[in-house]
Amino acid sequence: MTRPRQGGRSALLALCTVLFAVCGCGAPAARENAAIRTGMAFEEALATGDHALACVLLAPSTRRQLVQDQQQDCPRAIAGEELPRGGGLRGAEAYGRQAMLRLTGDTLFLSQFTDGWKVVAAGCAPEGDKPYECSVKGS
């Protein structure tokens, strides 16, 4: 069995370091863009009255809580919430598997699941120094 030369090992380590740095730099932007796409799809679903799609884009615990609170199926429950129109994107922040989208008329909070980004809270408004108050959220 032959051992790799020391120079080959150093070159491989340098290549892995460069690849890691390049891939690592793009990852936060990719996560943020994916969260934005999901949030905007959620807003579009609400705007067009596609409440079934809006429900698909909700996180499982948020969907369960909404159904439990409203005592009706998710599409009817989310329609009854009369969430504010989100409007245009004002800003987005993604930190690991969590994201916040600030829209003209709403703020959304999202989490990344194995099957993609999902809305965990909608209809959110800042409360000064306190956490955001959200009309749709999980338990």
pLDDT tens digits for range 71-116: 999 999 999 998 999 999 999 999 999 999 999 999 999 999 999 9
Q: Give 53: exposed, middle or buried? Use CB within 10 Å, 0-12, 13-18, 19+.
A: middle
pTM of the model: 0.79
Whether the pLDDT of residue 24 is over 70: the answer is no
Q: What is the dihedral of CA 15, 29, 50, 123, to 10 degrees?
A: 140
Confidence of residue 15 (pLDDT cuts 50, 70, 90): very low
| Predicted pLDDT of residue 27 | 61
Using CA atoms of 64, 67, 73, 79 in order, give the dihedral in degrees to the nearest 10. Answer: -110
